[in-house]
């Protein structure tokens, strides 16, 4: 495993720094693009890592995976009454479909979907951000995971698009709580700082039919884990989900902080991170690293 990661690191080195760091969140624009990390966590909980795998970064949309876990815990399958399970084929922050489709977002991994899921979690918990952070601390085995308040504030200041989506959904009756409060929670969730090692450990349950080897407990049922992985495979990389399936062939979730988690069901979870993004808002070197990984292991879900 270590040789595999070292080979991937060598292979993607020329790509690290190519692309652009997310600048629509001013605080993220300050990150050094010349970083790359990769970590794998197998179903026994063993971690292998290479590069900047212990450097913390903003997990951004990867938080949508954990947010969905909370919604499963509190709503079970009834959560699908308020959010769909189809790919959107549009950028992560698009709002055009919402008007045509009566305020029901296509899936929980685009912003509109994650905002509805956050709204749902808000209806059940007094401190939804603390609940999400604590879940992540438990799953990763790292009790020091925290949000970067500067990133969250930066996003809150530039919240117009996410606010517009939320108010549109409210107009359709699919958003029940105060928009500004839910946005605050959503941005705090996106601003959680974790490393590749933390994220590989925290998503290991997805490779293990919902069972987390760190907490020795079920996070999701086997059926829910299958659904989550199917959604990750079809919608985890927004409008690049098709070519990600084509090139990589694994369930995955990206974030504009440059992280991507991916799952080899039954074997291991992976997290790669490199801050510079391609045009679709996904880590350029990260996608290349995962492409290299499935080529090396000669396996994909397809
Ligand atoms: N793709 C992402 O990582 C987007 C998350 C970001 N916090 C946003 O709402 O725009």
Each residue of 223-233: pLDDT tens digit? 999 999 999 99
105 C-alpha to center of ligand 1: Å? 15
DSSP three-state, residue 252: strand
User: Does ligand 1 lie within 6 Å of residue 60's CB atom?
Assistant: yes
Q: Report pLDDT for 80.
A: 98
Each residue of 159-216: pLDDT tens digit? 999 999 999 999 999 999 999 999 999 999 999 999 999 999 999 999 999 999 999 9
User: Does ligand 1 lie within 6 Å of residue 155's CB atom?
Assistant: yes
Compute CA distances 209 → 133, 198, 219, whole Å: 22, 19, 9
Q: Return the biggest CA–CA distance within the chain.
A: 54
- Rounded Cα gap, residues 189 and 121, in angstroms: 12
Each residue of 76-101: pLDDT tens digit? 999 999 999 999 999 889 999 999 99
Run of H or E including 51: strand 47-51
pLDDT classification of 238: cutoffs 50, 70, 90: confident
Q: What number does the ligand 1 atom closest to the CA of 93 have?
A: 10
Instruction: Determine the topology of domain 2-297 in CATH.
Output: Beta-lactamase (3.40.710)
pLDDT classification of 74: cutoffs 50, 70, 90: very high
User: Does ligand 1 lie within 6 Å of residue 115's CB atom?
Assistant: no
């Amino acid at each position: 495993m270590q040789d595999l990661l070292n080979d991937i690191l060598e292979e993607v080195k020329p790509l690290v720094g190519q692309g652009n760091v997310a600048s629509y969140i001013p605080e993220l624009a300050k990150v050094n693009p010349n970083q790359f990390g990769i970590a794998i966590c197998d179903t026994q909980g063993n971690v292998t890592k290479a590069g900047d795998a212990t450097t913390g970064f903003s997990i951004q949309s990867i938080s949508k995976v954990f947010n969905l876990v909370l919604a499963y815990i509190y709503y079970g399958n009834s959560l699908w009454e308020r959010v769909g399970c189809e790919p959107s084929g549009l950028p992560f922050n698009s709002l055009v479909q919402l008007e045509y489709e009566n305020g029901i977002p296509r899936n929980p991994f685009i912003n509109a979907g994650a905002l509805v899921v956050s709204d749902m979690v808000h209806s059940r918990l007094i401190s939804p951000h603390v609940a999400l952070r604590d879940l992540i601390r438990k799953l990763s085995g790292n009790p020091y995971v925290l949000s970067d308040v500067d990133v969250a504030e930066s996003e809150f200041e530039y919240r117009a698009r996410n606010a517009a989506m939320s108010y549109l959904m409210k107009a359709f009756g699919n958003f029940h709580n105060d928009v500004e409060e839910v946005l605050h929670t959503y941005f705090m969730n996106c601003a959680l700082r974790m490393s590749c090692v933390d994220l590989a450990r925290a998503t290991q349950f997805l490779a293990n039919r919902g069972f987390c080897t760190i907490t020795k407990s079920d996070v999701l049922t086997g059926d829910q884990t299958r659904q989550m992985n199917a959604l990750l495979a079809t919608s985890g990389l927004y409008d690049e989900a098709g070519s990600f399936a084509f090139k990589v062939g694994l369930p995955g979730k990206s974030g504009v902080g440059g992280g991507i988690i991916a799952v080899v069901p039954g074997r291991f979870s992976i997290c790669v991170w490199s801050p510079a993004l391609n045009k679709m808002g996904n880590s350029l070197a990260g996608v290349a690293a995962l492409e290299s990984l499935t080529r090396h292991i000669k396996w994909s879900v397809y």
